[in-house]
Amino acid sequence: MSLPAGVLIGIVFWFVVRFILTSFYTVDPNERAVKTVLGRAQRLGDATTLDTPLAEQLRPDERERYVYPQVRVIGPGGPYFKWPWERIYKVSVATETINMAKDLEDPRANKGGTVLQAVTKDQLDTGLEGQLRYRVSESNLYAYLFGVKQPVIHVMGYFVSVVRERIANFEAPKAKSVTAADGTVTMEEMSVMAGISINDLRKHMRSLNEAMEQDCRSAEARYGIVMDASLITAIEPPGDVEPALAAINTAHNHVSSDISLAHASADQRIVQSRRAVEIETLKAQAEISPLIALADQLKRLKADGPDVLAAYIRNVRLGLFSKAQHVIIPEKR
């Protein structure tokens, strides 16, 4: 029994709408796409992440675990066509910012995703505030799409574990020798605040952020997510420690101020002493110069003959006698 013409037209129309019109797709400028054929992503031959610069970010023991195939990435544009047995996975490669304390699985954790708790080396429960910038790696889309079930949650957990490990083991850099302009070698002043973990962390927050970026650089090879930057903006101590810490900071500021004033006064006195020595040296040189010139002149006169030197001495005496009011001449006996 043949089907009515209307039914056939309906079947053909459904087939066209279901499999033909919906087979066209586009990719936005900030997106990249990967096509799978019967569930298998289109690959670039046998190439893997070990054949790319991403392998340099992994330790030797990690290269066996984090090996992902290189897939064909579909760039922005379109419309593109796909068959019904093919599927398109689109991802945004734009840079995104997220609070480092945000828990994507439990929004109530970490005080509603505002403060991340971490314990310092001296057992102080501190609160960290900051942001994390990340983006999907176009060079490792397979890891992001198929390697990890929830890559952003996985990477956030990895980041939190790294930052807590850094906070727990952070130590301030040791004092270094400093060579002054005059060649003297001295040691940098040891701060009275050294050894207090929160103050060390606050003082070296920039180096802490740089260390976090270095530690999280392998996330691109592991999970297909690039950590653009981690910015810790505040490190707050527990409430019961804050008053004592404030008192210590105040005392430290007073001591630092007194030391700076003492250094400035000492430097000023040293400069004044050096200036006084230079002035006295110039005075002595001014007094010695005529005597040296006179000695040179007498040597030249003596070289010309004894009569010339005697005549010179006679003329000098006559000049002195003309200026003197009284002259005492010893009597010859």
Q: Where are the domains of the chain?
A: 15-91, 96-238
Q: Which residue has the tokens 């060079």?
A: 139
Q: Mean pLDDT over all residues of the chain?
A: 79
- Packed helices 151-169 and 205-215: angle between N→C axes, nearest 10 degrees: 140
Tokens of 209: 């952020």
pTM above 0.85, yes or no: no
Give the pLDDT of residue 298: 75
Q: 245-283 pLDDT, tens per residue?
A: 666 666 666 777 778 888 888 888 888 888 888 888 888
Residue 236 phi/psi, 5-degree rounding, is: -110, 135
Dist CA 86 CA 102 (whole Å): 36
Residue 40 phi/psi, 5-degree rounding, is: -115, 125
pLDDT greater than 70 at residue 18? no
- Structure-model confidence comparison of residues 229 and 156, the more confident one: 156
- Structure-model confidence comparison of residues 225 and 302, the more confident one: 225
Residue 35: strand, helix, or coil: strand
Give the pLDDT of residue 89: 93
Tokens of 82: 């796909």
Least confident of 6-15, 28-37, 257-266: 6-15
Measuring CA to CA, how many Å separate 124 from each of 98, 177, 194, 207?
26, 31, 16, 20
Q: 92-119 pLDDT, tens per residue?
A: 999 999 888 888 888 888 888 888 888 8
Report whether 246 contacts 228 (CB < 8 A): no
Helix (H) or strand (E) holding 287: helix 242-304
Give the pLDDT of residue 199: 73
Report whether 20 contacts 81 (CB < 8 A): no
Looking at the DSSP assignment, which residues form a beta bridge with residue 90?
33
Superfamily per CATH, domain 96-238: Band 7 domain (3.30.479.30)
285 Cβ neighbours under 8 A, 6+ residues apart: none
Report whether 29 contacts 76 (CB < 8 A): yes
Q: 120-167 pLDDT, tens per residue?
A: 887 878 888 888 889 999 989 999 999 888 888 888 888 888 888 888
Report whether 221 contacts 49 (CB < 8 A): yes
Dist CA 168 CA 178 (whole Å): 30
Measuring CA to CA, how many Å separate 108 from each of 18, 101, 113, 233?
42, 11, 7, 21
